[in-house]
Structure 1
């Protein structure tokens, strides 16, 4: 933060990074790095620089190498942060415009990241598909996020985006566009290789069912 003598207001200093990927060494984080690299060094892209962050710098380095293959990894800054260390999260949030949070289950590990972003006025985005977490964050941090100009956006993952697009497509097949009370969707997966999941997704699903109420 710094004081602007001309306007008489306290304003935020320019962030060091356009984006930080938190939890970048995990199953999802590695794929996020790989997709993000596609937007670097493209003149029309608003993404000019980014960093990756997590608990283990060695694993982060390995994730960057995996995401860059077959090319050599670019010089992307690797930062240390832990969801159990609020100071490290506030430090991240103060250095970037937005944090992409890949650390789940979000019910267990997401709130400290949201809080750090909201306190710093940094934007937050995740791939969460956990309704209880999203609703709790909105109730708890909405007013402060508005006050500090922080956008908190969840449900940007595979289990959410196709459902939203499918709902929009179907609603526009009616004249005028319909508002449905219920939509049922199905998905079919095909692969030449064995389809596997990961522990974080499994744990999120189990915890979501555990908190269901009839």
Structure 2
């Protein structure tokens, strides 16, 4: 069956997912390459409320019920998508079934994960099957990674070819109101990552080394 939707946002009613949805709706127009979008999560009523919050026009967006504790529901979701954008964390607790469903369906998978052990474990477990099924699995498409990547691309554009920088250092400065500003899932992910650091070290020692993709940015290229 051909995929019905360009993107399915999984966990769209969560803290981060609702903001992802709000931004995604800006690109859903007749003139955009993004022509079809669906929402997925455990509660259809919460997803409906989130859609009302995200858009004043209340567009008609399909809603799919899927739960990380229900693998068949994840497979149904993945079979209808070209790409699943996963916003359900902590990822080490909830998201391997989502990766598995996407790989088996041959659809692409993106997430906003910042948990190194989860990301590297998914590569170790699913790499061969993802290649076989034509599924692209990409993590860390969120706050932790994007400033560094965009900063690198910006720096590359400051050099005149054939000169290129061989090292870029970056730092991030945050300003907020009084107190720590973070949601519980982010805090929980940080705690779990720290407490399982030994598992990451063990994984890195045991994992088979693979050749890395060479990514070349053209100096004059827009981004």
Range into which the TM-score falls when normalised by the shorter chain: 0.7 to 0.9
RMSD across aligned positions (CA): 2.1
Once the two structures are TM-superposed, the CA of residue 67 in structure 1 deviates from its matched residue by 0.6
Which residue of 1 is the match for residue 218 of structure 2? none
Which residue of 1 is the match for residue 209 of structure 2? none
Give the structure-2-normalised TM-score. Answer: 0.81
Unaligned runs of 5+ in 2: 202-223
Q: How many residues matched? A: 197
Once the two structures are TM-superposed, the CA of residue 190 in structure 1 deviates from its matched residue by 4.5
- Name which of 40, 51, 58 aligns with 2:38: 51
Which residue of 1 is the match for residue 220 of structure 2? none
- Name which of 12, 25, 32 aligns with 1:37: 25
Cα distance in 2 between the residues matched to 1:21 and 1:170: 32
Give the structure-1-normalised TM-score. Answer: 0.84
Which residue of 1 is the match for residue 144 of structure 2? 159
Would the aligned equivalents of 2:151 and 2:170 in 1 still touch at CA under 8 Å? Answer: no
Aligned to 1:204, the other structure's residue is in SS state helix
Is 1:145 aligned to 2:130, yes or no? yes
1:28-77, Cα deviation, whole Å (9 max, x unpaired): 1100111111111241x111111101001111111111111xx2311111
Cα distance in 2 between the residues matched to 1:49 and 1:24: 15
Cα distance in 2 between the residues matched to 1:159 and 1:116: 25
Return closer, same or farther for 1:172/1:36 CA change in 2, 3 Å cut-off.
closer
Q: Which of structure 1's runs of 4+ aligned residues deviate more than 4 A?
A: 170-175
1:142-175, Cα deviation, whole Å (9 max, x unpaired): 1110101000011110111002222444466677
Which residue of 1 is the match for residue 49 of structure 2? 62
- Name which of 99, 104, 107 aligns with 1:122: 107
Once the two structures are TM-superposed, the CA of residue 184 in structure 1 deviates from its matched residue by 4.9
Aligned to 1:27, the other structure's residue is in SS state coil
- Name which of 149, 153, 171 aligns with 1:185: 171
Cα distance in 2 between the residues matched to 1:66 and 1:161: 26
1:3-32, Cα deviation, whole Å (9 max, x unpaired): xxxxxxxxxx32111111100100111001
